[in-house]
Amino acid sequence: MITKLMEGLPNQSMAQVPFDEAVAKYMAELPAWGGEANALAADVNAKQIQTTASAASATESVNAATEQVSAAQAARDAAVAARNAAQGFATDAQQAASGTVLIGTSTTSLVIGTGNKTLTTQSGKQYAANIFITAVSASDPTRFMTGTVASYVGTTLTIAVTAVGGNGDTKSDWNISVTGAPGAAGSAALTGNATGAINLLKGTAPAASATPDIWAAGGNRVPISFGTTITGFPAAPQAGAQRTLVATVAFSVTSSANLVIAAGSTTLAVGDELDVTAETPTLFKVWVRRASVASGVLTGDTLTTVRSLLTPDWLLCDGSAYLKTSYPALYAVIGNLLALQDAPAIVSLSAQPSGIAVSGDGNWVIIGLTTGAPSVRQRTGTTWTTSPYPNTMNSEGGITINPDGTLFCVSTVNNNEISFATRSGTTLTLVNPTGYTFVSGDAYPKFSPDGAKFFLRKAATPYFNAYSVSGTVFTKLPNPTVAAGSSAVVDGCFSADNKYLAIAHTDAPYLEVYKIEGTTLTKLAALDVSNVSATAKCTSVSLDAAGNTLVASLTKYPFALIYSRAGDVFSRMPELTPSLVGLPSELTSCSVTQDGNHIIATAAVEEPTYGTKYMNFFKKVGNVFTRTTTNIVMPVGAVRKHAMSTNGKLLLISGTFIGWAKAYEQSYDPTIQFGLPTINIGAPTFIKT
């Protein structure tokens, strides 16, 4: 109907008649069309209501379906969580069954000790706070730390360590494991009577060290399989701890304040034993047992008998010399003896000698004279040949010669002059060393034993100079930050390693020592000069090769000041024995041999009451230098100065009379040999090797 109504609608293009007909037709059909339109609208409304209801029902269905999906997803998530938990429980059970959750490793480098120690390890371990745990070195199970877990976060584990093995050692290969609580402490002491044998465990040899850890050797009887000199031990577990050390190779032990050896420093042969007792954890007392000892006889003991002792462990005391390497234990006990004998005579001195110096090998000598040029002598076999010194100055201010006899230095105080001369063959030529310029007052020169250093007295602060020497090039070392004392310097000397320089003053402070490190001179602590006579004058100073012993001569009591060195501290030693207290004359010079075993002292007057002669020898016995005798023909006049070659082969002395100088030499080569004493008391005397 609606479509028919639209057919033939009137429009402006129609003629009047058709237009009127079309209008009449439209108006006639309009009511019917309106009814039809109303019915259609009602139908549309009804369908819309139905559609809306259907949509609401569909929405409800979708919502219900969504809720069902969410419920399914939640059920699925719960199932996954349950599965994961089950798998975790299974893994934990497997790890617990195998122990892996309770153990771990770490490469953190730690010093063994008590207190909190933090390591980096694996995560996921069952290291709960306050449980007991132990870290043990994989390479050395005797090194460990045990305690409780202080914290464990991620891969960081902190242990509150309460007990250790190998205190002070450093390890980085740790095996970590949970442990049980320590048991109750055992008895602090074993008491009662043993009803059977107690078998102690033999330990393993500790690593080579000057301070081997004998306490961690795993037993009481500890083999020593290295030749390193032992100077101490790590802290003992407690006072009273004991170990027996057995020498499987030869080695030495050095006595010190914390390592007290009953017989002093010594060398052990294979089979010898050391009994070590910790008086405190850091103070050790040591007793030596010799494998070759019979009936308490020790190396160095002597036996006088009419029987012939031909066994190799007893040697006849007849002055013979032996290689140090053949009898190291005996040499360690007696050292080098001064087995001196007359050397070829030095004659034809033109004036009274003032000083004397000798080359390191003993083949060149320079003798200072109070007037005229010094006398230079070369030894060839049994003959001394003169080589003229190219300057006529006297040598009252001191003389010196380098070790190979190629550079000489002469000083005179009166003429205020210093000269240097080089030697080529037998010819001496004056030379002006590069780097040195003479200043008025320079005197008392001294080369070091190796010729690499040079000392010179200065008249003004710092009162001395030290130089490094290469050929004829002298390089002055910087002045020390602390100058020497202002009292007149009269002598100086270097240790053979050039680490120490000792200086002698006529008056207080008498002696000073400087340490040389590179080009730096550091003044050491003041030396003990107590009990020195107020009128005493110091005349000379001497150091042994290692700088371990220092001796200085005085004109009055105590006549000699003697010191031993420990580190950089020089401590006063006992006086020469027997005491020279009351001696009216003076000691004109003193020196200590390069090995530190003897002191040689010369005197202006012989004093029979005190046993002093023009030349006196003292041997070190323990901590005391005791007068000893020699078989040499003593000089017959006052001795002013003396000098010994650094190889110990030649001793020269100069006297106070015109033309007087004398030479002595060792009867053996002290660089490789040592001599036995000559003992003749009516029957042969033997010494235990």
Widest CA span in the chain: 190
What mean pLDDT is reported for the chain?
82
Query: Among the residues of 99-147, which ranges form H helices?
Result: none
**Which of 23-32, 245-254, 334-343, 641-650 is predicted least confidently?**
23-32
Mean pLDDT, residues 247-259 taken together: 87
Measured in degrees and rounded to the nearest 5, phi and psi for residue 176 equal -110, 135
- Distance separating alpha carbons of residues 2 and 41, to the nearest angstrom: 13
What local confidence, expressed as pLDDT, does residue 416 receive? 75
More confident of the two residues 155 and 486: 155
Distance between alpha carbon 468 and the CA centroid of its chain, in Å?
26
User: How many other C-beta atoms can be found within 10 angstroms of the C-beta atom of residue 579?
Assistant: 13
| Nearest CA among 557, 650, 653 for reference residue 613 | 653
pLDDT exceeds 70 at position 600: yes
Distance between alpha carbon 144 and the CA centroid of its chain, in Å?
26
3-state helix, strand, coil in the chain (%, to 5): 15, 40, 45
Helix (H) or strand (E) holding 266: strand 266-268
- Distance separating alpha carbons of residues 544 and 439, to the nearest angstrom: 30
Mean pLDDT, residues 520-543 taken together: 93
Q: Which residues contact 85 (CB under 8 A, 6 or more apart)?
A: none
Q: Residue 560 is encoded by which pair of tokens?
A: 């000699």
DSSP helix/strand/coil, 372: coil
pTM here? 0.56
359 contacts 664 by C-beta, under 8 angstroms: no
**Which of 58-62, 352-356, 599-603, 652-656 is predicted least confidently?**
58-62
Which range, 30-34, 244-248, 310-314, 612-616, is most confident?
244-248
DSSP helix/strand/coil, 99: coil
pLDDT exceeds 90 at position 409: yes
| Nearest CA among 679, 689, 587 for reference residue 642 | 587
- Distance separating alpha carbons of residues 68 and 584, to the nearest angstrom: 126
Q: Residue 125 is encoded by which pair of tokens?
A: 């371990």
Mean pLDDT, residues 165-180 taken together: 88
What local confidence, expressed as pLDDT, does residue 295 receive? 44
Q: Residue 272 is encoded by which pair of tokens?
A: 């010898």
599 contacts 580 by C-beta, under 8 angstroms: no
pLDDT exceeds 50 at position 193: yes
Mean pLDDT, residues 22-31 taken together: 69
Q: For 272, left (φ over 0), alpha (ψ -120 to 50), or beta?
A: beta
CA 294, 299, 304: angle at the middle one, nearest 5?
75
Distance between alpha carbon 488 and the CA centroid of its chain, in Å?
37
The b/e string for 361-374 (b: 16+ C-beta within 10 A; e otherwise) is ebbbbbbbbbeebb
**pLDDT-based confidence at residue 85 (cuts at 50, 70, 90):** low
Mean pLDDT, residues 520-526 taken together: 94
Mean pLDDT, residues 34-49 taken together: 65
| Bridge partners (DSSP) listed for residue 520 | 517
Mean pLDDT, residues 77-84 taken together: 61
DSSP helix/strand/coil, 594: coil
Mean pLDDT, residues 669-676 taken together: 83
DSSP helix/strand/coil, 418: strand
What proportion of the chain, given as a percentage, has pLDDT over 70? 80
pLDDT exceeds 70 at position 138: yes
What does the pLDDT look like over 97-111, one tens digit per residue? Answer: 456 778 899 999 999
User: How many other C-beta atoms can be found within 10 angstroms of the C-beta atom of residue 566?
Assistant: 10
Q: Which long-range contacts (CB under 8 A, 24 or more apart) does 408-417 make?
A: 408/366, 408/376, 409/445, 409/447, 409/454, 410/366, 410/368, 410/374, 411/442, 411/443, 411/444, 411/445, 412/443, 413/443, 416/440, 416/441, 417/393
Residue type, 463: Y
- Distance separating alpha carbons of residues 157 and 170, to the nearest angstrom: 18
**pLDDT-based confidence at residue 553 (cuts at 50, 70, 90):** very high
For residue 653, give Cα distances in angstroms to 17, 339, 430, 493, 663: 176, 16, 26, 18, 7
pLDDT exceeds 80 at position 174: yes
Mean pLDDT, residues 451-477 taken together: 94
Query: Running DSSP on this structure, what letter comes out for residue 181?
Result: P
DSSP helix/strand/coil, 89: helix
Work out whether strand 266-268 and strand 259-261 pair parallel, antiparallel, or are unpaired: unpaired
Residue type, 309: L
**Which of 137-141, 147-151, 230-234, 660-664 is predicted least confidently?**
660-664
- Distance separating alpha carbons of residues 449 and 464, to the nearest angstrom: 18
Q: Give the sheet arrangement for strand 353-358, strand by strand.
A: 353-358, 364-369, 375-380, 383-388
pLDDT exceeds 90 at position 70: no
- Distance separating alpha carbons of residues 681 and 89, to the nearest angstrom: 95
What does the pLDDT look like over 612-668, one tens digit per residue? Answer: 677 788 888 888 998 887 656 666 666 778 888 888 888 888 776 656 677 888 777
- Distance separating alpha carbons of residues 345 and 333, to the nearest angstrom: 34
What local confidence, expressed as pLDDT, does residue 37 receive? 62
What local confidence, expressed as pLDDT, does residue 172 receive? 93
What proportion of the chain, given as a percentage, has pLDDT over 90? 33
- Distance separating alpha carbons of residues 675 and 321, to the nearest angstrom: 4
| Nearest CA among 367, 358, 422, 370 for reference residue 648 | 358
Q: Which residues contact 630 (CB under 8 A, 6 or more apart)?
A: 338, 339, 340, 617
What does the pLDDT look like over 469-483, one tens digit per residue? Answer: 999 999 999 998 888
Beta strand segments in 416-458, E: 417-424, 427-431, 443-447, 453-457
Three-class secondary structure assignment of 16-78: HHHHHHHHHHHHHHHHHHHHHHHHHHHHHHHHHHHHHHHHHHHHHHHHHHHHHHHHHHHHHHH
| Nearest CA among 651, 572, 583, 635 for reference residue 612 | 583
What local confidence, expressed as pLDDT, does residue 654 receive? 79
Work out whether strand 283-289 and strand 259-261 pair parallel, antiparallel, or are unpaired: parallel
What does the pLDDT look like over 280-290, one tens digit per residue? Answer: 999 999 988 87
| Nearest CA among 487, 490, 472 for reference residue 411 | 490
What local confidence, expressed as pLDDT, does residue 294 receive? 46
Q: Residue 194 is encoded by which pair of tokens?
A: 């043993």
The b/e string for 134-146 (b: 16+ C-beta within 10 A; e otherwise) is bbbbeeeebbbbb
Query: Running DSSP on this structure, what letter comes out for residue 546?
Result: T
Residue type, 111: V
Mean pLDDT, residues 539-563 taken together: 92
Query: Running DSSP on this structure, what letter comes out for residue 479?
Result: P
Cβ burial of 9 (10 Å; 0-12, 13-18, 19+) is exposed
What local confidence, expressed as pLDDT, does residue 434 receive? 96
